[in-house]
Structures are given as structure tokens and as C-alpha cells.
Structure 1
Amino acid sequence: MNITINVEEMDQYTKVYIGGELDVYTAPKLQETVFPHVKANQTLIIDLTEVTYLDSTGLGIFVGLFKSLNAKNGTLQLVGLSGRLKRLFDITGLSGIMNIHSEVEGGV
């Protein structure tokens, strides 16, 4: 039940680095850290390279971010997904609607 979150604000985008477990216990911390960075016409890039676990609560955070950004003409990009995380997004159908890149370079 450990998570690290680092945020880098740039002119055209904000990049969020997440590490550790993203679950029912850590999702509130992610939500309170990331949602203030949802801005109109902004790209939010979330680097999941260091995420070791993701449950449905974590998926729900990404759905909420996706909806909030879409409503403000923004874009959500998820990068650095491991094979296991990518499969989770595939199984839930979220990879069909979200911008997902297995490699970190794909998001910038």
C-alpha cells in the first residue's frame, strides 16, 4: 500500500510519474494530487512504468481523468504500461478509448 507521485508541469503538458501500488488505499492520494492539474486544452501524460499493482479503483481514477479532460478539450495519455497493465486496459476495453503507449517516448 505504497505509492509515489511526482508531477512536472510544462507549457503544453503536465507529466505525472506514478510508482508502487495503485489500489483502493492509494487512489485517493492520486486523485487529490492529479485532478488539480486537469486544465482546458491541456495534455496530461501519466507514466506508469513504476506501477507494480493496479486494481479497479485505480482504473476508475483514470476513467475520471479521461472524462474530465475530454470535457475540457484536454487529452489523457498513459505511457510506460507493463504487459500486465496493458492487458488489464485491453480486457476492460479502456485501451480502445484511451491513448495508451507501452513505451514512455510515445506520449510526448
Structure 2
Amino acid sequence: MAQAAAVSQLTLEVERNGDVFTVKCHGKLVLGFCDVLASKVKELIPQSKRIVLDLTDLTIMDSIGLGTLVRLYVSAKAGGSCVVLVNVGPRIRQLLGITNLLSVLTDMCEQGVNIRF
């Protein structure tokens, strides 16, 4: 039953194009469901130069979700990879702005790839 709830709260689709993975997030990045994203991205870090998190269908993110993005940023950087956020919706963008993480997370790759809105 708990797994069914997790699936309905946050689902991921992973696509690979060369050494770039795109992880499309659907649902809520909130307490209790962040490990789904964290474990998937950490699994991809050794295989990838860049991991794109497509947040198009992410509807809600809480402080635990924010912490998860920061931990993934640090893990990717330490692993020689980078995490890029794309298609950040207004609610998530506002949350990143309020916490002053928007400016931190806009320079996530040395290649200069920034968050797209």
C-alpha cells in the first residue's frame, strides 16, 4: 500500500541521450517521497556528465524537496557530473527565490547551463 501511495505522489521517467540523462518528475517532491528522486539521480551520477531534472509536471515541493535538490547538486558535483533544472513552474520558482536558492541553482554546471522557466 505504501508503494502505491509513493507512485501516485512522485513518478519519474528517465530518458538517455548519450551521456545526458533527463529525469521527468511528475507529482509532488515532498516529505516521504524525496528518496524516489534522490536514489534514482544518485544511481545515474556515475554514468552521466549531466542530469537534467525536468520539473514541468512537478506540482508541489516542500523544504525536504529543496534539501533533496541541494544534496543532489552536491553529490553530482562531487561525482564529476552536474544537475540542471529545466521547466521550473512559477510555484517552484517562487520557493527557490524565497529561499535564495534560485541564484545558487542557476549556476549548476560549469558549462553555463541555467535553469529554464
Count of aligned pairs between the two proteins? 102
Q: 4+ residue stretches of structure 1 with deviation over 4 A?
A: none
Instruction: Give the match for residue 32 of structure 1.
Output: 39
Name the larger-Rg structure. Answer: 2
Q: Equivalent residues in 2 for 1:1-108 (5 A)?
A: 2-39=9-46, 42-99=49-106, 100-102=115-117
Deviation at 1:77, TM superposition (A): 0.8
TM-score, structure 1 length as denominator?
Answer: 0.85
Percent identity among equivalent residues?
A: 28
Give the strand-richer structure, 1 or 2. Answer: 1
Q: What root-mean-square deviation, in Å, do the aligned CA atoms of Structure 1 and Structure 2 show?
A: 1.6
The two structures have a TM-score, normalised by structure 2, of 0.79
Tell me the alpha carbon deviations over residues 41-67 of structure 1, each in whole angstroms, 9 at most, x when there is no partner. Answer: 611100000011100111111101100
Segments of structure 1 that go 5 or more residues without pairing to the other structure are 103-108
Structure 2 gaps of 5+ residues are: 107-114
